[in-house]
Amino acid sequence: MDRSSLDLPFFGPEHRALSDAIFDWAAAMPPIDHHDTDAACRRLVAALGRSGFLRYCVPAAFGGALPELDSRALCIARETLAYHDGLADFAFAMQGLGSGAITLAGSPELQRRVLPKVASGEWIAAFALTEPEAGSDVAAMATSARLDGDHYVLDGEKTWISNGGIADVYCVFARTGDAPGTRGLSAFVVHPDMPGFEIAERLDVIAPHPLARLRFNGLRVPVENRLGASGEGFKIAMRTLDIFRASVAAAALGFARRALDEALAHARGRAMFGHTLADFQLTQAKLGEMATDVDAAALLTARAAWQRDVAKKPTTREAAMAKMTATENAQRVIDAAVQMHGGQGVRVGVKVESLYREIRALRIYEGATEVQKLIVARELMKSAARSAPPGSRKASPEGDRHGS
């Protein structure tokens, strides 16, 4: 795995040390059983907890490795784990995403109760935002949370929930009706042993991961389990996704690096017409394209993470650019690696075949590529409006729909 990008000024020596530690740990991992993903993820979360790597998913005050969440550390961990195995990346990532809203907006009591168990791997976390009729259009969310004394009563469904069915704690977003659209959403900490919580369906996908559709039927959640103020759910969700969106790009980068390494090794060793596959200019040209796609993704991902961690600037546009570019580039790189392997490339058990299945979902979850394009364009227009001469600015009719 090429880790030369860690020598760029975006990273410090502590990031290079983290990369070395995770790489060595992942390389020594026993084989992962992808046929029983529930058991595999439980084992992976426990192992990542024992290793201390899950401490990068929470702040130091609650058992974390650093004073606050560090996007560069999250990216390094995900890229390295994805290079070795997609399920290992998934197990790590969901501990961060699933508890991120608690880190950002939980009360001190909620943080003390949940975050140390996430960092140790004792509890598995999940992030429940998507609904059957509300994916990219968060304003269409229908799950409701009605205040009843010192509890909220939740009714509705969530779907495509990672770790659904095995999680110990869920961050659930629901409509409290404080205002129309995205301004009327709130966030809650929910446990699966609460009456009214149901796993309605387990979902199977091309790259097996624990996924489920959840149903809430009169589920009573204590008021103190609300994250932030009532009506702040959308802001909390977007702040959480802004942190972890760059790490999705990093996971895609890890998949792409592995595909490039597999393609290069295969091309150098595959005999063909008295030469090796790597001797042909067509192969060399494709390898050149693949390497450039990988480096472009690496630079955009590092910039987004650095801008959040060091420059302390909003990264909505930069994270969207990184996620869009890294996932789309990885799809091209992996597809080229499969093509280069010929028939072996589509054989179950060959690494590039599993990479081909793993990468596809990354172009959809945490905001599909098409949504990332809209985010970039929206941020671009906001910037243009701010720099326009007074009197020339026009209000955008799209503001409410996109939750601006």
Q: What is the pLDDT of residues 359-377, one digit of tens each?
A: 999 999 888 999 999 999 9
* CATH 1.20.140.10 residue spans of the chain: 234-385
Percent of the chain exceeding pLDDT 70 equals 97
Structure token digits, residue 93: 């990532």
Structure token digits, residue 147: 């205040």
* CATH 1.10.540.10 residue spans of the chain: 4-124
Q: What is the pLDDT of residues 106-135, one digit of tens each?
A: 999 999 999 999 999 999 999 999 999 988
Report how far apart the first and last C-alpha atoms of the chain are (Å, whole number).
40
Catalytic residues, by residue number, are 366
Main-chain dihedrals φ then ψ at residue 213, nearest 5 degrees: -100, 130
Mean per-residue pLDDT of the chain? 94
Q: Compute the distance between CA of residue 218 and CA of residue 239 in angstroms, rounded to an integer.
A: 28
Q: What is the pLDDT of residues 235-254, one digit of tens each?
A: 999 999 888 999 999 999 99
Which architecture, in CATH terms, is 4-124?
A: Orthogonal Bundle (1.10)
Residue 215, H or E segment: strand 211-222
Per-residue model confidence (pLDDT) at position 391: 67
Per-residue model confidence (pLDDT) at position 256: 98
CATH code of the domain occupying 127-231: 2.40.110.10
Per-residue model confidence (pLDDT) at position 394: 55
Q: What number is the average pLDDT over the span 185-210?
A: 96
234-385 folds as Butyryl-CoA Dehydrogenase, subunit A; domain 3 (1.20.140)
Q: Compute the distance between CA of residue 79 and CA of residue 99 in angstroms, rounded to an integer.
A: 20
Percent of the chain exceeding pLDDT 90 equals 87
Residue 397 has pLDDT above 60, yes or no: no
Q: Give me the torsion for CA of 250, 254, 256, 257, rounded to 10°.
A: 130
* CATH 2.40.110.10 residue spans of the chain: 127-231
Q: Compute the distance between CA of residue 230 and CA of residue 90 in angstroms, rounded to an integer.
A: 30
Residue 77 has pLDDT above 50, yes or no: yes
Q: How far is CA 77 from CA 28, 54, 103, 226, 319, in A?
A: 15, 10, 19, 30, 17
Q: Compute the distance between CA of residue 22 and CA of residue 334 in angstroms, rounded to an integer.
A: 23
What's the predicted TM-score (pTM) here? 0.93
Q: Hey, which residues does 162 pair with through a beta bridge?
A: 211
Q: What number is the average pLDDT over the span 174-202?
A: 95
Per-residue model confidence (pLDDT) at position 366: 87
Structure token digits, residue 355: 């990479």
